[in-house]
Amino acid sequence: MRLDQLKPGQKATITDIDEDGPVAQRLMAMGLLDGTKVSMTRKALGGDPVEVEVMGYALSLRKDEARRVSIEISPS
């Protein structure tokens, strides 16, 4: 499953990031790595961009970018 498919309120753990240069590198520098916990806070009008919480801060990214992040939903 990918991060963009996570519903608001759901929590998950990152399992992998598609590597394709600067965008992925920036995500990783901001702490989105294998094993990092993320949760979906909300989605903007039309479901894009999305707002996630990671390591205690709020990050906004587009669906296209969130799609690079593979996740595993944590049981709530």
Partner 1 sequence: MNTTTAPTKIPVIAVVGNPNTGKSTLFNALTGMRQKTANFPGVTVEHHTGLIELPSGKVNLVDLPGSYSLAAESPDEMVACDVLLGLIDNLHQPDAVLVVVDSANLRRNLFLAHQVMELGKSVVVALNMSDIAKRRGIHIDPDKLSKELGATVIPFVATDRSRAQALKATMDVAINAKAVASATVHPEVVEAAHVFADELRSEGMQVTDYEVERALIDARGYAEIRLINNAPTGTADKLFALRQQLVQQGDGCSLAKTEAIRRYKLIDAMVGKVETRTGKQLSLTDKVDRITNHPVWGMVLFITIMATVFQAVFSWAGPLMDLIDTGAGWMAATVGEALPPGALNSLLVDGVVAGVGSVIIFLPQIIILFAFIILLEDSGYMARAAFMMDRLMRYVGLSGQSFIPMLSSFACAVPGIMATRVIPNKRDRIATIIAAPFMTCSARLPVYALLIAAFLPKQQFLWGLVNLHGLVLLGLYLLGVVGGVLTALLLKRTGLKGPTPGFMIELPPYRFPDLKSVLIRLLDRGKIFLRRAGTVIFTVAIVVWALVYFPRPAEIFEAYDAERVVAEIELSGEELDIRLSQIDNFESAELLEQSLLGRIGKTIEPVFRPLGWDWKVSAGVVASFPAREVVVAVLGTIYAVGADVNETDESLIGRLRSAKHADGKKVFTLPMTIGLMVFYAFCLQCAATVAVMRRETGGWGWPLFAWTYMTGLGYVSALLIYQGFS
Contacts with partner 1, residue ranges (CB under 8 A): 17, 19, 21-31, 33-34, 41-42, 44-46, 48-49, 51, 53, 55-62, 64-65
Shortest Cβ distance from residue 44 to partner 1 (Å)? 6
**Amino acid found at 71:** I
> 5 or 39: whose CB is closer to partner 1?
39
> 12 or 68: whose CB is closer to partner 1?
68
> 29 or 75: whose CB is closer to partner 1?
29
Distance CA 76, CA 63 (A): 23
Query: Do the Cβ atoms of 33 and 25 come closer than 8 Å?
Result: no
* Residues in CB range of 46: below 8 A, 6 or more apart: none
